[in-house]
A and B are shown apart, each in its own frame.
Chain A
């Protein structure tokens, strides 16, 4: 009997805790009667990609703040944008469940997300099923816009464009600097993203007549990349193409420097190489590295500098790939909402499909305009290639390609010095 009592006490304590926890859950702010546009955002806010998820969230919040402060969506009577964030933890099944919830329970009018291609991909099917427009700032896998869906809109370029531009860049550089590049090595994380890039690289290298001396995926959970670096060193390629997430990009760059591996050019594919903590964590080791991105702080666009300054002041780091596209996504959405003049998802979708944005804060990226083709891909999604170098103010990312976007007075260092 006493035993029983003890158990009861324990369970009482336990349920008290549960009830307390429950109480906290049940108090989300009930929104007032005012008209609001509800935007559901699925991002990896915890787990291995938490850093990039946070960047995307911050950029979205800044854009929303600006839009709401400027009077909201005027054609909807000054409706404010309300952001609802959901954490995917980088897991597809969580992303799908969150999309279901955002659409059905939170009744969002629009979805954005999800950074990880492996999460975005299944979420497109959910959005399509409910007819909810789904703006994808960055998730580069080609297949995301290749499903014939009507509701998906991607701001950034898709992976076949990223790789195409990387090879176009190589061609241009050889011509400009009169240096011959013959051998290439591919090193990439063994995931959806890396595999997708590697497939394209193989095709492009074959077409352009490069010799592939190394084609090496590595586990994204690798704790030591020096074996891979050794392999690169022994393959001795002219060009090293990389696709890495943040932790491995940092490790790889530092290890390459330690082993004094100096190909004529190392080219990253955004992602980890564009992460704001990448430069801090690699320092001089990243010097002369090329990286392909959708945006750079020195991009020659009106307001770009001011917006970046504001962001940096607020959050302590520069805008980067995901965050700049996320920022743009919100302005694209605001523009579509103005034109739709309605909260009906179908009207918003139709307005998004007719987007032709050429002015405003959404134009801070290298894109000439934002305009979606019938698959929902931003036709004008251009990319730039930057080089990491020190121009007297510490290491920074300097735009070098395409040539008309190159920072005035800068000559790219190519091929990288062999010291």
Chain B
């Protein structure tokens, strides 16, 4: 077996397991947890285009989730536009806002960039909370928007069961992963990581770092907004403190950092580990000692960072390579 074959085989195996999972997981609870897990993996992978490859730390990505969620929801509630089109509209609006944020902020480094994105996101949340009606659009301020569960069906992006949502988010996740893989191998990807690590050197080599970052930001905000529409259609209720919250922005970034930013598998690993930890902690400890679940969550964050500052993908890819080596190499490789 060659390395390529092995890779194709394991990829196919994972795909088969993921696709077949709903056949075995009948409980809506676990499907719900799985869907959220994929959703966060998707969000984090989208974030990774900027936060991982471009080497900055955006902490306001919930803005784009909010834009996606609000755009498609308002369009469908008030104008009867199917959320699928609203999804694209939200994505485009999000690109606009993303570039608007990126233009000035990409000149900053480190802490300033992180804080600027926080301020942008919080500013937008405050605005949404203060606006009940924007021209003809009913935003409903802090009270949020509810999507009545009336018209089920694919065209309306609304289903009574969880399985359709499962397959939609799996498709979205697969697409965004493939896209990231493609980008990471493209010229843009190399420019981005060069610009992220050594901006001066990259610029000296003639790479337009700022433009590359902007393109990455545009892609990232577009993809993130799509997840916003998914979120709205999945929970059928959005309000500023849920879809534009700082907590959400942080969680997206943390999953990436825990998993290993800048790698394709990192966000997935982060979501696989962190999401269940937070869910399980809440489920089993949330009622007994209030707040204990968040303490455990905090401890896990700290431990991972102390022992694996490069994220979880490091030991995992090591493990993967070892297994792959053992299975594929007939000739013992040089240590």
Interface residues of A (CB under 8 A from B): 1, 4, 7-8, 10-11, 13-14, 17-18, 21, 24-25, 28, 45-46, 50, 53-54, 57, 84-87, 89, 91-94, 96-98, 100-101, 103-105, 118, 121-122, 125, 129, 147, 190-192, 195-196, 219
Most A-side CB within 10 Å, residue of B27, B237, B291: B237
> Once the chains bind, are B318 and A192 in contact (CB under 8 Å)?
no
Residues of chain A contacted by B335 (CB below 8 angstroms)? 1
Asked if B15 is at the interface of the complex by the 8 Å CB criterion, the answer is no
Closest Cβ neighbor of B239 among chain A residues: A118
> Once the chains bind, are A87 and B307 in contact (CB under 8 Å)?
no
Instruction: Give the interface size bracket for B toward A.
Output: 35 or more
> Once the chains bind, are A84 and B287 in contact (CB under 8 Å)?
yes
> Once the chains bind, are A87 and B286 in contact (CB under 8 Å)?
yes
Nearest CB of A to B228, in Å: 13
Give 4 new A-B contacts, CB below 8 A, not counting A7-B318, A97-B36, A195-B143.
A25-B280, A87-B282, A104-B32, A105-B29
> Once the chains bind, are B307 and A24 in contact (CB under 8 Å)?
no
The majority secondary structure among interface residues of chain B is: helix
Nearest CB of B to A108, in Å: 12
> Once the chains bind, are A86 and B36 in contact (CB under 8 Å)?
no
Which of B80-88, B110-118, B208-216, B292-300 contacts its partner? Answer: B292-300
Asked if B301 is at the interface of the complex by the 8 Å CB criterion, the answer is no
Task: Choose from A85, A104, A192, A219 the contact partner of B29 (Cβ within 8 Å).
Answer: A104
> Once the chains bind, are B32 and A190 in contact (CB under 8 Å)?
no
Asked if B12 is at the interface of the complex by the 8 Å CB criterion, the answer is no
> Once the chains bind, are B28 and A104 in contact (CB under 8 Å)?
yes
> Once the chains bind, are A21 and B29 in contact (CB under 8 Å)?
no
> Once the chains bind, are B149 and A7 in contact (CB under 8 Å)?
no
Residues of chain A contacted by B303 (CB below 8 angstroms)? 14, 17
- The 6 A-B pairs of least Cβ separation, nearest first, read A85-B287, A87-B286, A11-B315, A122-B237, A104-B29, A46-B291
> Once the chains bind, are B236 and A125 in contact (CB under 8 Å)?
yes
> Once the chains bind, are B142 and A192 in contact (CB under 8 Å)?
yes
Task: Choose from A57, A94, A219 the contact partner of B282 (Cβ within 8 Å).
Answer: A94
Task: Choose from B143, B148, B237, B277 the contact partner of A196 (Cβ within 8 Å).
Answer: B143
Closest Cβ neighbor of A22 among chain B residues: B280
Nearest CB of B to A151, in Å: 14
Nearest CB of A to B317, in Å: 10
Q: Pull 15 A–B residue pairs with CB atoms less than 8 Å apart, ordered by A.
A: A7-B318, A14-B307, A14-B308, A14-B315, A21-B300, A91-B242, A97-B33, A98-B282, A101-B29, A101-B283, A118-B239, A118-B241, A129-B160, A147-B148, A192-B144
> Once the chains bind, are B142 and A100 in contact (CB under 8 Å)?
no
Task: Choose from B32, B142, B247, B277 the contact partner of A97 (Cβ within 8 Å).
Answer: B32
> Once the chains bind, are B28 and A100 in contact (CB under 8 Å)?
yes
A288 vs B78: C-alpha distance in the bound complex, in angstroms?
47
Closest Cβ neighbor of B149 among chain A residues: A125
Nearest CB of A to B227, in Å: 13
Residues of chain B contacted by A97 (CB below 8 angstroms)? 32-33, 36, 279
Asked if B129 is at the interface of the complex by the 8 Å CB criterion, the answer is yes
A45 vs B283: C-alpha distance in the bound complex, in angstroms?
12
Decide yes or no: A54 and B290 within 8 Å by CB, A25-B280, A28-B284, A100-B29 being known contacts. yes
> Once the chains bind, are B242 and A93 in contact (CB under 8 Å)?
yes
A84 vs B282: C-alpha distance in the bound complex, in angstroms?
12
Residues of chain B contacted by A24 (CB below 8 angstroms)? 284
Nearest CB of B to A4, in Å: 7
Nearest CB of B to A210, in Å: 23
Residues of chain A contacted by B28 (CB below 8 angstroms)? 100, 103-104
Task: Choose from B273, B282, B290, B300 the contact partner of A50 (Cβ within 8 Å).
Answer: B290
> Once the chains bind, are B277 and A46 in contact (CB under 8 Å)?
no
Residues of chain B contacted by A104 (CB below 8 angstroms)? 27-29, 32
Chain B, residues 235-248, CB within 8 Å of chain A (1/0): the string is 11101011000010
Nearest CB of B to A83, in Å: 8
Within 8 A of A (CB), among B133-166: 141-144, 146, 148-149, 160
Asked if B304 is at the interface of the complex by the 8 Å CB criterion, the answer is yes
Decide yes or no: A14 and B304 within 8 Å by CB, A7-B314, A97-B36, A129-B149 being known contacts. yes
Residues of chain B contacted by A101 (CB below 8 angstroms)? 29, 32, 283
Closest Cβ neighbor of A196 among chain B residues: B143
A28 vs B287: C-alpha distance in the bound complex, in angstroms?
12
Chain B, residues 174-193, CB within 8 Å of chain A (1/0): the string is 00000000000000000000
Task: Choose from B129, B242, B296 the contact partner of A190 (Cβ within 8 Å).
Answer: B129
Decide yes or no: A46 and B29 within 8 Å by CB, A7-B314, A92-B239, A195-B141 being known contacts. no
Nearest CB of A to B244, in Å: 13
> Once the chains bind, are B130 and A190 in contact (CB under 8 Å)?
yes
Nearest CB of A to B270, in Å: 13
Residues of chain B contacted by A18 (CB below 8 angstroms)? 273, 300
A17 vs B312: C-alpha distance in the bound complex, in angstroms?
14
> Once the chains bind, are B294 and A92 in contact (CB under 8 Å)?
no
A250 vs B277: C-alpha distance in the bound complex, in angstroms?
36
A366 vs B170: C-alpha distance in the bound complex, in angstroms?
53
> Once the chains bind, are B287 and A86 in contact (CB under 8 Å)?
yes
Nearest CB of B to A82, in Å: 12
A271 vs B335: C-alpha distance in the bound complex, in angstroms?
68
Task: Choose from B32, B148, B291, B315 the contact partner of A8 (Cβ within 8 Å).
Answer: B315
Residues of chain A contacted by B241 (CB below 8 angstroms)? 91, 118
> Once the chains bind, are A86 and B286 in contact (CB under 8 Å)?
yes
Most B-side CB within 10 Å, residue of A4, A24, A87: A87
